[in-house]
Structure 1
Amino acid sequence: EELQIELVDRFGPLPPAAKNLFRITQIKLKAAAMRIRKIEANSTGGHIEFERDTRIDPRFLVKLVQSKPSLFSLDRKQRLRFVQPMSEAETRLDIAERLTKQLAEHVIDKKSPSESA
Protein backbone atom coordinates (compact mmCIF):
# COMPACT_ATOMS: atom_id res chain seq x y z
CA GLU A 1 0.00 0.00 0.00
CA GLU A 2 2.91 2.35 0.73
CA LEU A 3 4.21 1.83 -2.79
CA GLN A 4 0.83 2.73 -4.25
CA ILE A 5 0.69 5.91 -2.16
CA GLU A 6 4.19 6.86 -3.27
CA LEU A 7 3.35 6.29 -6.94
CA VAL A 8 0.23 8.47 -6.68
CA ASP A 9 2.28 11.13 -4.91
CA ARG A 10 4.91 11.16 -7.66
CA PHE A 11 2.86 10.56 -10.79
CA GLY A 12 -0.74 11.41 -9.94
CA PRO A 13 -3.76 9.14 -10.06
CA LEU A 14 -3.02 5.60 -11.19
CA PRO A 15 -4.73 4.22 -14.30
CA PRO A 16 -7.28 1.45 -13.68
CA ALA A 17 -4.88 -1.27 -14.87
CA ALA A 18 -2.28 -0.22 -12.29
CA LYS A 19 -4.89 -0.08 -9.52
CA ASN A 20 -6.04 -3.58 -10.46
CA LEU A 21 -2.45 -4.83 -10.37
CA PHE A 22 -2.12 -3.62 -6.78
CA ARG A 23 -5.44 -5.26 -5.86
CA ILE A 24 -4.40 -8.56 -7.44
CA THR A 25 -1.07 -8.47 -5.62
CA GLN A 26 -2.79 -7.87 -2.27
CA ILE A 27 -5.19 -10.76 -2.91
CA LYS A 28 -2.27 -13.06 -3.80
CA LEU A 29 -0.31 -12.10 -0.68
CA LYS A 30 -3.30 -12.73 1.59
CA ALA A 31 -4.07 -16.00 -0.18
CA ALA A 32 -0.48 -17.24 0.13
CA ALA A 33 -0.51 -16.56 3.88
CA MET A 34 -3.59 -18.78 4.19
CA ARG A 35 -1.99 -21.50 2.04
CA ILE A 36 -4.33 -20.92 -0.89
CA ARG A 37 -2.71 -22.13 -4.08
CA LYS A 38 -4.84 -20.36 -6.66
CA ILE A 39 -7.89 -18.15 -7.13
CA GLU A 40 -9.41 -18.05 -10.58
CA ALA A 41 -12.53 -16.26 -11.76
CA ASN A 42 -14.28 -15.67 -15.06
CA SER A 43 -17.59 -14.20 -16.17
CA THR A 44 -19.67 -17.05 -14.68
CA GLY A 45 -17.80 -17.97 -11.51
CA GLY A 46 -14.52 -19.42 -10.41
CA HIS A 47 -12.68 -21.53 -7.89
CA ILE A 48 -10.29 -21.36 -4.99
CA GLU A 49 -7.69 -24.11 -4.83
CA PHE A 50 -6.19 -24.83 -1.42
CA GLU A 51 -2.81 -26.28 -0.54
CA ARG A 52 -2.94 -29.58 1.36
CA ASP A 53 -1.81 -27.73 4.48
CA THR A 54 -4.21 -24.82 4.06
CA ARG A 55 -4.86 -22.77 7.17
CA ILE A 56 -8.59 -22.45 6.44
CA ASP A 57 -10.85 -24.30 8.88
CA PRO A 58 -12.43 -27.14 6.85
CA ARG A 59 -15.55 -26.97 9.03
CA PHE A 60 -16.11 -23.43 7.80
CA LEU A 61 -15.86 -24.57 4.17
CA VAL A 62 -18.44 -27.30 4.79
CA LYS A 63 -20.78 -24.82 6.50
CA LEU A 64 -20.33 -22.36 3.64
CA VAL A 65 -21.27 -24.97 1.04
CA GLN A 66 -24.21 -26.22 3.13
CA SER A 67 -25.55 -22.72 3.72
CA LYS A 68 -25.30 -21.60 0.07
CA PRO A 69 -25.33 -24.72 -2.14
CA SER A 70 -26.46 -22.78 -5.20
CA LEU A 71 -23.40 -20.54 -4.91
CA PHE A 72 -20.64 -22.80 -3.52
CA SER A 73 -19.53 -26.40 -3.98
CA LEU A 74 -16.48 -28.49 -3.16
CA ASP A 75 -15.51 -30.33 -6.32
CA ARG A 76 -12.34 -31.94 -4.98
CA LYS A 77 -10.67 -32.05 -1.60
CA GLN A 78 -8.71 -28.86 -2.19
CA ARG A 79 -11.08 -26.87 -4.40
CA LEU A 80 -14.02 -24.58 -3.62
CA ARG A 81 -16.11 -23.60 -6.64
CA PHE A 82 -18.37 -20.57 -6.74
CA VAL A 83 -21.00 -19.66 -9.31
CA GLN A 84 -21.81 -16.00 -9.75
CA PRO A 85 -22.14 -13.71 -12.76
CA MET A 86 -19.06 -11.46 -12.92
CA SER A 87 -18.80 -9.92 -16.37
CA GLU A 88 -16.56 -7.03 -15.27
CA ALA A 89 -12.98 -7.41 -14.03
CA GLU A 90 -13.81 -4.97 -11.23
CA THR A 91 -16.59 -7.29 -10.03
CA ARG A 92 -14.27 -10.31 -10.08
CA LEU A 93 -11.72 -8.44 -7.98
CA ASP A 94 -14.42 -7.30 -5.54
CA ILE A 95 -15.61 -10.88 -5.08
CA ALA A 96 -12.07 -12.25 -4.75
CA GLU A 97 -11.32 -9.64 -2.07
CA ARG A 98 -14.54 -10.40 -0.24
CA LEU A 99 -13.91 -14.16 -0.33
CA THR A 100 -10.30 -13.87 0.86
CA LYS A 101 -11.44 -11.60 3.69
CA GLN A 102 -14.14 -14.08 4.66
CA LEU A 103 -11.69 -17.00 4.54
CA ALA A 104 -9.15 -15.04 6.61
CA GLU A 105 -11.71 -14.88 9.41
CA HIS A 106 -11.61 -18.69 9.59
CA VAL A 107 -7.88 -19.37 9.68
CA ILE A 108 -6.70 -22.01 12.09
CA ASP A 109 -3.19 -22.24 13.46
CA LYS A 110 -1.64 -25.30 11.85
CA LYS A 111 1.87 -25.67 13.20
CA SER A 112 4.03 -28.63 12.46
CA PRO A 113 5.13 -30.74 15.46
CA SER A 114 8.65 -29.25 15.21
CA GLU A 115 7.25 -25.68 15.41
CA SER A 116 5.22 -26.37 18.53
CA ALA A 117 8.13 -27.96 20.44
Structure 2
Amino acid sequence: KKMIHAGAGVVDYDYRGEVGVVLFNHGTEDFEVAAGDRVAQLVLEQISMAPCVEVEALEDTARGAGGFGSTGVEATPAKRARAEAAAGGAAMGAASAAERTPHVAGEERAAAAGGAEVA
Protein backbone atom coordinates (compact mmCIF):
# COMPACT_ATOMS: atom_id res chain seq x y z
CA LYS A 1 0.00 0.00 0.00
CA LYS A 2 2.98 2.34 0.44
CA MET A 3 4.54 1.24 -2.89
CA ILE A 4 7.84 0.34 -1.20
CA HIS A 5 9.76 -2.62 -2.60
CA ALA A 6 12.67 -4.32 -0.84
CA GLY A 7 15.18 -5.39 -3.47
CA ALA A 8 15.95 -9.08 -3.14
CA GLY A 9 19.53 -10.21 -3.06
CA VAL A 10 21.80 -13.11 -2.28
CA VAL A 11 24.57 -13.05 0.28
CA ASP A 12 27.38 -15.44 -0.62
CA TYR A 13 28.11 -18.13 1.96
CA ASP A 14 31.61 -16.82 2.61
CA TYR A 15 30.65 -13.14 3.00
CA ARG A 16 31.48 -11.76 6.43
CA GLY A 17 30.59 -8.05 6.21
CA GLU A 18 27.53 -6.03 7.15
CA VAL A 19 24.31 -6.82 5.29
CA GLY A 20 22.08 -3.98 4.14
CA VAL A 21 18.71 -3.63 2.43
CA VAL A 22 17.93 -1.58 -0.67
CA LEU A 23 14.43 -0.09 -0.70
CA PHE A 24 12.74 1.23 -3.83
CA ASN A 25 9.99 3.83 -3.48
CA HIS A 26 7.58 3.38 -6.39
CA GLY A 27 5.07 5.73 -4.83
CA THR A 28 4.70 9.48 -5.01
CA GLU A 29 5.06 10.19 -1.29
CA ASP A 30 8.28 10.30 0.73
CA PHE A 31 8.87 7.24 2.90
CA GLU A 32 10.95 7.50 6.05
CA VAL A 33 12.60 4.55 7.74
CA ALA A 34 13.27 5.03 11.43
CA ALA A 35 15.69 3.00 13.52
CA GLY A 36 13.96 -0.22 14.55
CA ASP A 37 11.43 -0.23 11.69
CA ARG A 38 10.85 -3.67 10.19
CA VAL A 39 11.22 -3.23 6.45
CA ALA A 40 12.70 -6.53 5.23
CA GLN A 41 13.13 -10.22 5.99
CA LEU A 42 16.21 -12.39 6.01
CA VAL A 43 15.55 -15.87 4.64
CA LEU A 44 18.27 -18.44 5.24
CA GLU A 45 18.62 -21.18 2.64
CA GLN A 46 20.75 -24.30 2.84
CA ILE A 47 23.17 -24.54 -0.06
CA SER A 48 24.44 -27.66 -1.73
CA MET A 49 28.06 -27.92 -2.77
CA ALA A 50 27.40 -30.77 -5.21
CA PRO A 51 30.36 -32.12 -7.14
CA CYS A 52 30.57 -31.05 -10.76
CA VAL A 53 31.81 -33.36 -13.50
CA GLU A 54 33.44 -31.76 -16.53
CA VAL A 55 32.79 -33.52 -19.85
CA GLU A 56 34.09 -32.99 -23.36
CA ALA A 57 30.60 -32.90 -24.93
CA LEU A 58 26.94 -33.21 -23.94
CA GLU A 59 24.46 -35.67 -25.43
CA ASP A 60 21.76 -34.22 -27.69
CA THR A 61 18.32 -33.63 -26.18
CA ALA A 62 14.88 -32.98 -27.67
CA ARG A 63 15.28 -29.29 -26.84
CA GLY A 64 18.73 -29.05 -28.37
CA ALA A 65 20.22 -25.58 -28.13
CA GLY A 66 16.79 -23.94 -27.83
CA GLY A 67 16.36 -21.51 -24.97
CA PHE A 68 13.35 -20.15 -23.09
CA GLY A 69 10.09 -20.90 -24.88
CA SER A 70 11.71 -23.16 -27.46
CA THR A 71 9.58 -26.14 -26.44
CA GLY A 72 6.34 -24.17 -26.83
CA VAL A 73 3.86 -22.87 -24.33
CA GLU A 74 1.15 -25.54 -24.50
CA ALA A 75 0.76 -28.07 -21.72
CA THR A 76 1.80 -31.66 -22.36
CA PRO A 77 -1.12 -33.96 -23.27
CA ALA A 78 -1.08 -35.67 -19.87
CA LYS A 79 -0.98 -32.35 -18.01
CA ARG A 80 -3.78 -30.96 -20.18
CA ALA A 81 -5.91 -34.06 -19.50
CA ARG A 82 -5.42 -33.67 -15.74
CA ALA A 83 -6.35 -29.99 -15.93
CA GLU A 84 -9.44 -30.72 -18.02
CA ALA A 85 -10.52 -33.50 -15.67
CA ALA A 86 -10.06 -31.22 -12.68
CA ALA A 87 -12.11 -28.51 -14.41
CA GLY A 88 -14.83 -30.95 -15.45
CA GLY A 89 -13.74 -30.78 -19.07
CA ALA A 90 -12.86 -34.45 -19.44
CA ALA A 91 -16.02 -34.87 -21.51
CA MET A 92 -14.15 -33.46 -24.51
CA GLY A 93 -13.40 -37.10 -25.34
CA ALA A 94 -10.65 -39.10 -26.97
CA ALA A 95 -11.22 -37.73 -30.46
CA SER A 96 -10.57 -34.16 -29.45
CA ALA A 97 -7.49 -35.25 -27.53
CA ALA A 98 -6.27 -37.05 -30.66
CA GLU A 99 -7.00 -34.03 -32.81
CA ARG A 100 -5.15 -31.73 -30.44
CA THR A 101 -2.08 -33.97 -30.20
CA PRO A 102 -1.42 -35.56 -33.60
CA HIS A 103 2.32 -35.65 -32.87
CA VAL A 104 1.87 -37.88 -29.82
CA ALA A 105 2.04 -41.67 -30.14
CA GLY A 106 -1.28 -43.53 -29.83
CA GLU A 107 -0.61 -44.98 -26.36
CA GLU A 108 0.38 -41.59 -24.94
CA ARG A 109 -2.64 -40.02 -26.60
CA ALA A 110 -4.85 -42.68 -25.02
CA ALA A 111 -3.40 -41.86 -21.62
CA ALA A 112 -4.01 -38.17 -22.25
CA ALA A 113 -7.59 -38.95 -23.25
CA GLY A 114 -8.26 -40.74 -19.99
CA GLY A 115 -7.37 -44.25 -21.11
CA ALA A 116 -9.66 -44.44 -24.15
CA GLU A 117 -8.16 -46.22 -27.12
CA VAL A 118 -7.27 -43.86 -29.95
CA ALA A 119 -6.59 -45.00 -33.50
Q: Whose helix fraction is larger, Structure 1's or Structure 2's?
A: 1
- With normalisation by structure 2, the TM-score equals 0.20
Q: Tell me which structure has the larger Cα radius of gyration.
A: 2
- With normalisation by structure 1, the TM-score equals 0.20
